[in-house]
A and B are shown apart, each in its own frame.
Chain A
Amino acid sequence: MAKKSDISKTISRRSILKAGALGSVAMSAPMFYAKNAWAESAIGNYPIEGDTVMLGFNVPQTGAYADEGADELRAYKLAVTHLNNGGGMLDTFKPSKLTGSGILGKKVDYVVGDTQTKADAARTSARRMIERDKIIMLTGGSSSGIAIAQQYLASEMGIIFMAGLTHSNDTTGKDKRRYGFRHFFNAEMTGIALSPILAETYGKERRAFHLTADYSWGHTQYDAMKRGTEAQGWTTVNNLMTPVGAPDFSQYLTEVLSSDADILVLNHYGKDMVNSLSQAVEFGMRELQKNGKTMEIVVPLFSRLMAQGAGSSKIQGVLGTTNWNWSLQDEGSQAFVKAFEAEYGFPPSMAAHTCYCQTLLYANACEVAGTFYPPEVIKALEGFEFDGMGNGKTLYRAEDHQCFKDILVVKGKSPADKTGEFDLLELVGTTPRETVTYDASIFGGELGPYEPA
């Protein structure tokens, strides 16, 4: 034993010297880190070499939001096809400089990454696409924490990030970045848009009990709903934070039953919402009489995928907001739905819609700027006003990179009313853009510089 360690002692000393020499040789040689990223006028992966432009689609292929991710990816692929060959919303999107033959004469290509519905994994795969695959734009992300994590990385590396499905106020609030843009609406808008319709439907003398998913999005959603409904005269009885991915909500629902609340607000998304809503219905909450009124359930963020999960017998009459629904009759929506159905055989989700729009909006901003140089593209997006993408007139606000558009308030259809498997939501009303526009400074945060450090 002693002999062995003596040997290793002499070897180690020598080998350390050798390692040192080797290190200095390696340092002086050209290597793959020596990209021009930090030289003057080169930002991120600009300038692009060759005649293809690479986009990076980072979506959850595994994990809790894998269903949304799969639909997002379908939309991205469709967007690339349309950018290269025309079709889809290219015919309805105005004002648009898109030609249907790539972006600025370059053919559009893409790479895909898996965020695994985890922030760290999302950053790692984003890094692969940025460093190895030389993407000029990064997009994707379901879940706000993951979108925010990628947005910071993209800003540091000088890559524009077009956020996908993220509804937390933080994304364009306290965590807003110069290189991050969001087309999707947010919790604040949900609160403003939904509350008046709730008061109109259920009356002003209501007592609400909230169940909230315990993370960034849930917190901002609860906060916005509380402020919105209280402004209408409602009372907030209580709020319980529930862990994300909880399989059973009965302990929380029992508390709701024993309180004097006559409204249950479910600040849940995805599977959580499907589970909590189903259990609340099984508890008989929708027939219950409290304070002389029928108890009602509200789901602030509604999506067709969730409605499908819960089933129309449970969601009938439940009110909520949504970013977009495939049944909209305007030109833009119809063009997108037609192209999507022709390709995949079923209608797109709202996640697919926002991702598709984001890709086109980025491409158009490059055409407007006449360059891929990120600061110019950012300037082209800031304050850009457009139409024909399914949400009416929409503005990309310069101060916080949030899109402002009319917000759709929807109601679950009853089994008798629905005409098909995917026909689950009925439009109750739209809250105009002016009403949901809030002051950009209320959440704090800084966009940061146009040129990354």
Chain B
Amino acid sequence: MEYVVSILKKFPLTVFALVILTMPFWFPWIGGYGGLATKIMIWALFALGFDILLGFTGYLSFGHAIFFGVSAYATGLMFKHFSDEIIPAMIVAVIVGTLASVIIGYLTLKKSGIYFSILTLAFGEMLHSSALSTFGGFTGGENGLTLPDMIPSMLGIEMRGEVMFYMTAAVLILGYYIARRISDSPFGLILKAIKSNQERLEYTGIDVQKYKLGAFVISAIYASVAGSLMVVYEPYVGTEYLRWSTSGNLVLMSVMGGVGTLIGPIIGAAFMLYFENVLSVPLGEEWLLVLGLIFMAIVIFLPGGFTDGFKLIYKKLIGKKPDGEEK
């Protein structure tokens, strides 16, 4: 057991990549299937980026669906009007998502706490309803942006099935690597300092606003890549990508998995999607109730989410905390 954990600690990225890349082998054993594996990768990336904002700086955004959705629409429109090549579409989508985040971040990050959350929520709802009405001509309104008979491709290779899975998995592994580097960097340290005491940090002469915006934009870039991949995975853009429920799901995933741990939100995303699509079947129409109960149990008994649970189990088995020897 101690050996397993020491491997986990020494080679986190290798273990992470190993688990993900072997998913096609073990996932069917627990009732999974190809399409869900790919969707989990995408949401994991989305949740991972969100953790850079919520986990590090403590800023709870309720409008991250904006970047996911805007980038999804940009990708869809590029496919529709330009070409089915994913590289230009994804580049444009990420640029659009980033621009949106700079503007919205600039306007909202001056507030903190609940005011920031409400402002981001308001922006999200504004965009969602305008996608349904004002921009209905571009977005397809309630019917969604449909792209009949189109298969996105990268340099002529069709992006579906296993190819799409490994492409998404590669992006997620890269995203996880970058997030870990950010976490270990001086930049990451300042973000964490914002969470613990923003005022004190300001007194040391650091321009906190700039760092907050940095974290916001980085997490929005993750969201944009995820949103864009979502449309590559399934050439269809639904208006609910922009809806508050998408942002809400993201918060649920992060809290369930463990905020600020990077791996936690990924586990949370995987759990939520697995629950929604596999475990919900035997539960029938009661599945939302059961999910709610699980969420409550986690918040009450494991405030640190699943990652906290793993630490507790480890402590029970070994008798000390996994990060005990580091001090």
- Interface residue? A109 (CB, 8 A): no
Residues facing B in A136-193 (CB within 8 A) are 144-145, 148-149, 152-153, 155-156, 170, 175, 177
Closest Cβ–Cβ distance, residue B156 to chain A (whole Å): 15
Contact indicator B287/A128 (Cβ below 8 Å): no
Contact indicator A216/B141 (Cβ below 8 Å): yes
Interfacial chain A residues near B11, Cβ < 8 Å: 11, 15
Contact indicator B34/A32 (Cβ below 8 Å): yes
Known: A16-B177, A215-B142. A114 touches B280 (CB 8 A): yes
Contact indicator A148/B146 (Cβ below 8 Å): yes
Q: Which of B179-187, B202-210, B304-312, B313-321 is found at the contact surface with chain A?
A: B179-187
Known: A1-B189, A120-B238. A33 touches B24 (CB 8 A): yes
Known: A16-B177, A149-B144. A132 touches B149 (CB 8 A): no
Contact indicator A19/B146 (Cβ below 8 Å): no
- Interface residue? A448 (CB, 8 A): yes
- Interface residue? B288 (CB, 8 A): yes
B131-170 Cβ-contact flags toward A at 8 Å (1 or 0): 0110000000111101011010000000001100110011
Contact indicator A70/B285 (Cβ below 8 Å): yes
Q: Which single member of B24, B166, B234, B285 contacts A123 (CB below 8 Å)?
A: B234
Interfacial chain A residues near B14, Cβ < 8 Å: 11, 14-15, 18-19
- Interface residue? B277 (CB, 8 A): yes
- Interface residue? A127 (CB, 8 A): yes
- Interface residue? A247 (CB, 8 A): no
- Interface residue? A23 (CB, 8 A): yes
Q: Which single member of A1, A111, A123, A177 contacts B236 (CB below 8 Å)?
A: A123
A19-37 Cβ-contact flags toward B at 8 Å (1 or 0): 1001100110101111000
Contact indicator B148/A27 (Cβ below 8 Å): no
Give the bracket for the number of chain A residues in contact with chain B. 35 or more
Residues of chain A whose beta carbon lies under 8 Å from any beta carbon of chain B: 1, 4-5, 8, 11-12, 14-16, 18-19, 22-23, 26-27, 29, 31-34, 61-62, 66, 70, 111-114, 118-121, 123-125, 127-128, 131-132, 144-145, 148-149, 152-153, 155-156, 170, 175, 177, 214-216, 241, 446, 448-449, 452-453
Residues of chain B whose beta carbon lies under 8 Å from any beta carbon of chain A: 10-14, 17-18, 21-22, 24-25, 27-28, 31-36, 39, 132-133, 141-144, 146, 148-149, 151, 161-162, 165-166, 169-170, 173, 177, 180-181, 184-186, 189, 234-236, 238-241, 245, 276-278, 280-281, 284-285, 287-288
Pairs across A and B, CB under 8 Å, 30 listed: A5-B185, A8-B180, A15-B14, A19-B14, A22-B17, A23-B169, A26-B21, A26-B22, A31-B24, A31-B25, A32-B24, A32-B28, A32-B34, A62-B285, A62-B287, A111-B281, A114-B285, A120-B238, A121-B276, A124-B277, A127-B33, A131-B33, A145-B143, A145-B144, A148-B143, A149-B238, A156-B149, A214-B133, A215-B141, A216-B141
